[in-house]
Amino acid sequence: MTSPRDYFEQLAWRRYKGVLGVHRIDALEGGPVLGIGIATHGNEIEGLAAFASLPKLVRGSVVLVLCNLEAVTRHFCAEESVRYIDTNMNRLPSSLNSSASEVVRARELLPVLESFDYGMDIHSTPGPSEPMSLNVRGEGLSLVPTIPIQIDGMLEHQAGVPLSSLFGGKSVVGVEAGQQGTEQAWEDAQRIFETTLAVLGMADEEPPPSVEKSHYQILQPIYFPNPTYRFFPRLLTGTFSSLREGTYPKVKKGAPIAYGEGTTLRAPDDGVLLFPRRKVSDLTDEAAFLARFNS
């Protein structure tokens, strides 16, 4: 059986448009170009599962991209769980003019990313979770009709620039395939990729029916004013698994949500507090997101 490391080794030495760690596969029949972002975070390797489904491609082209090449190389070759080297590739500076490893790589990848007609950036989560999708551009969520958890509006409210926002194309989606390193997440990533091929008419299969969705609309980010702040314990009970059931902690406008050396933070509106962090060292990062849940 081919392992994730085998797929990594096949992809790491490939070049497309002169860029290492990129591979373009063309079907005999023309069609759209679908770009797949892999290992935007070096320890999130589930996007490599797309390799296993390439024989299903009958129309168009697929471009596989090892986004954070240095971090994922360390993950496999040095056996380190490396998320990034210098900066989070989902929180890039808008100018892309620094010497940080991830910024240099983003600049190098631009000609590749801009060639996409559609894009999908595949991630995974540190804890147990069903797959979820985050809309990046256009009708991105329509590319993944079988994913039960949908999050919209993240890009408008997060700090920095995610690499996926640099993908070309009319529709781009970010995907969390499930828990890092699990067989289930690998299988789900492969299934999601195959579904997208079918949706775009790039495979000789009918797209599967859409599933019932749990949908979250991001309203705004929550930032801590200094590193001493912490969320009240009841707001830290949500897990990735809570997303499906809509059981993430709810807050009312004006209710206290965090404390520290300063004024108590209060909820700016009614909603659900998504992805609250227990500790925030970089105050430019979001401590949580306030969202509206629609089942």
Query: Where are the extended beta strands (E) located within the chain?
Result: 15-16, 19-20, 22-26, 29-38, 59-66, 118-125, 132-137, 149-152, 171-179, 214-222, 230-231, 250-251, 256-259, 265-266, 271-274, 288-294
Q: Give 128's pLDDT tier (boundaries 50, 70, 90).
A: confident
Q: Give 239's pLDDT tier (boundaries 50, 70, 90).
A: confident
Element (H, E) at 7: helix 4-12
Range of the domain at 94: 4-199
CA distance 48 to 11: 9
Say if 211 falls within a structural domain.
no
Mean pLDDT estimate for the chain: 93
- The answer to whether 159 touches 212, Cβ cutoff 8 Å, is no
5: helix, strand or coil:
helix
Same domain, 164 and 262: no
Same domain, 86 and 17: yes
CA distance 67 to 112: 11
Same domain, 147 and 239: no
In tens, the pLDDT along 44-97 reads 999 999 988 888 899 999 999 999 999 999 999 877 788 999 999 999 998 899
Say if 67 falls within a structural domain.
yes
Same domain, 226 and 178: no
Q: Give 213's pLDDT tier (boundaries 50, 70, 90).
A: confident
In tens, the pLDDT along 144-193 reads 999 999 999 988 888 889 999 999 999 999 999 999 999 999 999 999 99
pLDDT of 87 reads: 92
Same domain, 92 and 38: yes
Predicted confidence (pLDDT) at residue 253 exceeds the cutoff of 90: yes
Q: What is the CATH number of the domain that holds 254?
A: 2.40.50
Say if 272 falls within a structural domain.
yes
Same domain, 182 and 239: no
Determine how many CB atoms are found less than 10 A away from the CB of residue 130.
19
Say if 81 falls within a structural domain.
yes
Say if 276 falls within a structural domain.
yes
Higher pLDDT, 214 or 119: 119
**How crowded is the C-beta side of 18, counted as CA atoms within 13 Å?**
4
**250-251 sheet: strands from edge to edge:** 22-26, 59-66, 29-38, 118-125, 171-179, 132-137, 149-152, 214-222, 288-294, 271-274, 250-251
- Rounded to two decimals, the pTM is 0.93
Predicted confidence (pLDDT) at residue 1 exceeds the cutoff of 80: no
Beta bridge partners, 36, equal 64, 120
Q: Helices 69-77 and 101-113: crossing angle, nearest 10°?
A: 110
Same domain, 92 and 188: yes
Same domain, 137 and 47: yes
Same domain, 85 and 184: yes
Say if 204 falls within a structural domain.
no
pLDDT of 101 reads: 96
CA distance 249 to 273: 6
Same domain, 241 and 160: no
Same domain, 174 and 247: no
Count of the separate structural domains present in the chain: 2
Say if 213 falls within a structural domain.
no
In tens, the pLDDT along 4-37 reads 999 999 999 999 999 999 999 999 999 999 999 9
Same domain, 114 and 241: no
